[in-house]
Structure 1
Amino acid sequence: MEHVNPDMVDAAQGLWAQIKPIVQNMLLPWRLWQLLAILCVGAVAQLSRNLLAPRLNRWLRGRHGWPKWRLRIGILIQRKLRVILFALLAWALVIIMRNVTWPSRSHLIALAAAISSAWVAIEFLVRLIANKFLRRIIRWGAWVWVTLYFLNLSNPTAKFLDSLAIGLGDFRLSALTVIKAVVITGLLIAAARVLSRLTSASLAKNTDVSPTMRVLIAKIMQAVLLFLAIVVGLAATGIDLTGLTIFSGALGVGLGFGLQKIVSNLMSGVIILLDKSIKPGDVISIGDTFGWIDALGARYVSVVTRDGKEYLIPNEELVTGQVVNWSHTNDFVRLDIEFRASYRDDPHEVSRIAINASMTVKRVLAQRTPVCWVTAFGESGVHYMLRFWISDPQAGLTNVRGQVYLALWDAFRKRGITLPLAQTEIRLLGGAAAGAAMPGEPLATPPGEAGPSAAGSQPLKDA
């Protein structure tokens, strides 16, 4: 027992000195009746919730066209309906007792009503925090603090937590300091996130700023706000930040070696934003991945393909690797398709029909007239290449090629243009069809067919 901290013992005794009268007062007859009334109010709130929650759910499902924020508030009310009803019923009972029956016998009921009302208010306020883990920590911390405040136990509890401390030289770290640092820093980080989201939304509406500069400004503001939130939060709790400089320097060196790839991706993201080589909405090809950029992150770029897959490509690969940006300087993309036509058809007529057919497709640009050239005289037909332009590569490339091919098919059938098929000529040399012969034996000649001395073999054409 000699190793027990005397300050901690004094703080624990002071806390118990505050809790003991509260427990004793609750055992008084009129306090027990108030506790019973609180339990009855809770039971009525539970029964009312069971009756109203399904109806509220059906009513919310029928609210078509409502904005998301209003629906989220409705869902939150449905989830916390029990506590809301308890607070309302408790306050109603307090008003009745103070105006009709026994005003002085409603202290505990008013206390329960105040605590439940504070819990409901905290539940609505913490919804402004997007991070679930941070929101959960702040919610529970606020609930505990509010409960202790209404029970007049906040100061004794703070002294007890402050007595739970460790010391390293002149540096002293207590449980109270840690809790304050977590709560204050969490609140500041939440405020910084909300402010950064509002700034990003405001920048997104500003058409005078390029998309890459919008992302860059938003990322810089987010980093600065988070850094300030952490520094201010730690300083507000009384932690001496100068004592952490040596430790943070050593930690920074270790992290620099261990997190080279992450740092490289972060710097590559800054380079991408500065040189404007890639921006949200661009259509790119990297390796076998083809899609449009949905978002630029600090560590990766989100690329969405036509089949709905989302690829998270590290920024370093976009800086050091070969990337095809289909819409870097403009949205115009040229596509080539190849086809063949018969030698019996006039090449000039085939080219003209192909150009006119491609221009019937809506996505093919008319201001950049398609061209069609003869590329080779093949064995089975004349080879052509049709080139046309589109301005919306994010809508897909294979589909527009397919639409042009269908337009060519319809136009060629209407004009009588023949699409030749490759033909293979097979000559049956004497006796080959009679079956396999033994080595050294002549091949047998089927009845009714000429042998090798015949005038010639009949060609067979396989279409």
Structure 2
Amino acid sequence: MSVLSYDMLLRSVDSHLIWLKGNIFVLSSLIQILLVAAIIVLVSIFKKPIKSFAKKSTDRFSFAESGYSLVIRNILDHISGIIIALLLLFARHVSVELHHQTKILQLAANIYIACIAISIVSTAIKKKEIAKAVKIVVLILTCLNILGLLAPLMALLDGIGFMFTGTKISVLTLIEGVALTALVFSVGNFIVDSISVKISKTSGLNPTLEVLFLKLSKTLVVIISAAAGLEMAGFSLKSLHYFSGALGIGIGFGLKNIFSNYISGIILLIDKSIKPGDVIEVGDRFGWITDLRARYVSLRTRDGKEYIIPNEELITHRVVSWSHSDNRIRIVLPVGISYDSDVRLAMNLAVDAAKSVQRVLKDPEPVCRFTEFADSSLNLSLRAWISDPQNGIANVKSEINLGILDRFNSNNIKIPYPQRDVHIN
């Protein structure tokens, strides 16, 4: 084992000094270092005025209140770094035109661009796992570029591949295709979501048309993303027609239900038979629609349960809509009184009890009908209308029944028990 001696230390220092003299302590490198320092100091001095001016400009054009507020906020937060990177790139361009060295300027610009990209990505992507993965990829690519290893690595990946219908498909083109697909998909979804938020706030468009616009737009984004990714990867769309028949058969057998639900969802939106907020009854499930998705409808019941109903089921099965064309529904409450009670008084008391409940409509007003002479009672039928079935039916019936019971007790109206006469011979 060798021991670090004084002579070895001197030789190491001398070798590093020689490298510094040949690469750093030369006029061109010193000029670049001073230029980088001057740009950073200059922008730092005017940092607050620059940010204030940028903020006033965005407020003047109402960008901060638009669907792109997140992007604008990220740009404002990194405005100083962006200006430094742009000035460094401009200085590099001028140096190239003057045939001067530009390695340090390029290195500083790359570092600033990488830092800005990583910071913006970390705040723009909502899912932490995806944001972390993108940050790592950007950081690795930046380090490889700074070390001069990015171009050789890309050449290596481009050399590994296979032939597909006369076109070479390499690992590099596949990676580029996946990256482009993810980029187009993310940007497209961001634009669609921003436009959707803007429309819902300003246009007052029908909720059904909003959902239809969102579904069709996101479908278009998926198609464009996939097409762009395949083209970038080298899979020509013209060459894929050889596999269209097999793909169609595969979709027909393997994805039949998925596509059936998707098409059913579009049909439901176009004919406007189902929309968010509707109160419906499907089989033994009763509730209101909270969400329409590409594959299913979310139905929430009064007891807090949420049913995920495939769209196809709403097309092929009988659905009872309580609010399709009119939110008003009629509730019917049977009431039985004894034979020795005043029927007309009981009917008036029942109507008065219904009118006292706030959710019962005044027009059409509640009515009570004498329906039959039953074995043990005189049967009445109280009918009242409400306009908010999504707030519950049983609670309204309970309030009316309590009102009827209180009024019957105060006016000596009896509600009989079941009675039977037994004759013994």
**Paired residue for 1:175?**
171
- Written as runs of structure 1 = structure 2, the 5 A alignment for 1:160-171 is 160-168=156-164, 170-171=166-167
TM-score normalised per structure 2: 0.70
Change in Cα spacing, 1:416 to 1:290, as seen in structure 2 (3 Å) is same
- 2:289 counterpart of 1:282: no
- 2:389 counterpart of 1:419: no
Change in Cα spacing, 1:137 to 1:237, as seen in structure 2 (3 Å) is farther
Which one of 129, 147, 161 corresponds to residue 143 of structure 2? 147
Q: C-alpha displacement at 1:424, in angstroms?
A: 5.1
Aligned residue identity for 2:390: Q
**1:138 and 1:187 in contact (8 A); partners too:** no
Determine what percentage of the aligned residue pairs are the same residue: 38
1:85-109 CA deviation, whole Å, 9 max, x = no partner? Answer: xxxxxxxxxxxxxxxxxxxxxx99x
Q: Give the superposed CA RMSD.
A: 3.6
Aligned residue identity for 1:269: G
2:356 partner SS = coil
**Paired residue for 1:329?**
325
**Paired residue for 1:402?**
398
**Paired residue for 1:228?**
224
Q: C-alpha displacement at 1:258, in angstroms?
A: 2.1
Q: C-alpha displacement at 1:133, in angstroms?
A: 7.0
Aligned residue identity for 1:335: I
Aligned residue identity for 1:270: I
Change in Cα spacing, 1:132 to 1:255, as seen in structure 2 (3 Å) is farther
**Paired residue for 1:264?**
260
1:241 partner SS = coil
Q: Paired residues, what number? A: 336
**2:175 and 2:233 in contact (8 A); partners too:** no
**Paired residue for 2:49?**
none
**2:121 and 2:131 in contact (8 A); partners too:** no
Structure 1 stretches of 5 or more lacking a match? 1-23, 32-68, 74-106, 430-455, 457-463
Change in Cα spacing, 1:158 to 1:382, as seen in structure 2 (3 Å) is same
Structure 2 stretches of 5 or more lacking a match? 1-11, 20-66, 72-102
Aligned residue identity for 1:359: K
Aligned residue identity for 1:163: G
Change in Cα spacing, 1:421 to 1:310, as seen in structure 2 (3 Å) is same
Change in Cα spacing, 1:306 to 1:268, as seen in structure 2 (3 Å) is same
Aligned residue identity for 1:350: A
Q: C-alpha displacement at 1:339, in angstroms?
A: 1.5
2:357 partner SS = coil
- 2:353 counterpart of 1:362: no
Change in Cα spacing, 1:387 to 1:261, as seen in structure 2 (3 Å) is same
**Paired residue for 2:201?**
205
Q: Distance in 1 between matches of 2:283 and 2:16?
A: 78
Q: Distance in 1 between matches of 2:413 and 2:17?
A: 104
Q: C-alpha displacement at 1:243, in angstroms?
A: 2.0
Q: Distance in 1 between matches of 2:395 and 2:119?
A: 49
1:242-280 CA deviation, whole Å, 9 max, x = no partner? Answer: 222212442123212222222221221111111111111
**Paired residue for 2:42?**
none
Q: C-alpha displacement at 1:302, in angstroms?
A: 1.1
**1:141 and 1:183 in contact (8 A); partners too:** no
Change in Cα spacing, 1:151 to 1:366, as seen in structure 2 (3 Å) is same
Q: Distance in 2 between matches of 1:199 and 1:227?
A: 19
**2:169 and 2:234 in contact (8 A); partners too:** no
TM-score normalised per structure 1: 0.65
Q: C-alpha displacement at 1:315, in angstroms?
A: 1.0
- 2:254 counterpart of 1:296: no
Change in Cα spacing, 1:283 to 1:156, as seen in structure 2 (3 Å) is same
1:324 partner SS = strand
Q: C-alpha displacement at 1:421, in angstroms?
A: 1.5
**Paired residue for 2:375?**
379
**1:211 and 1:280 in contact (8 A); partners too:** yes
Q: Distance in 2 between matches of 1:313 and 1:285?
A: 12
1:405-455 CA deviation, whole Å, 9 max, x = no partner? Answer: 11111221222221111245678x8xxxxxxxxxxxxxxxxxxxxxxxxxx
Greater Rg over alpha carbons, structure: 1
Aligned residue identity for 2:332: D
Which one of 342, 348, 354 corresponds to residue 338 of structure 2? 342
**1:265 and 1:298 in contact (8 A); partners too:** yes
**1:294 and 1:304 in contact (8 A); partners too:** yes
- 2:236 counterpart of 1:240: yes
Q: C-alpha displacement at 1:398, in angstroms?
A: 1.1
Q: Distance in 1 between matches of 2:153 and 2:281?
A: 60
Which one of 313, 317, 321 corresponds to residue 313 of structure 2? 317
Q: Distance in 2 between matches of 1:29 and 1:314?
A: 73
Aligned residue identity for 1:255: I
Change in Cα spacing, 1:286 to 1:374, as seen in structure 2 (3 Å) is same
Q: Distance in 2 between matches of 1:340 and 1:276?
A: 42
Q: Distance in 2 between matches of 1:318 and 1:392?
A: 22
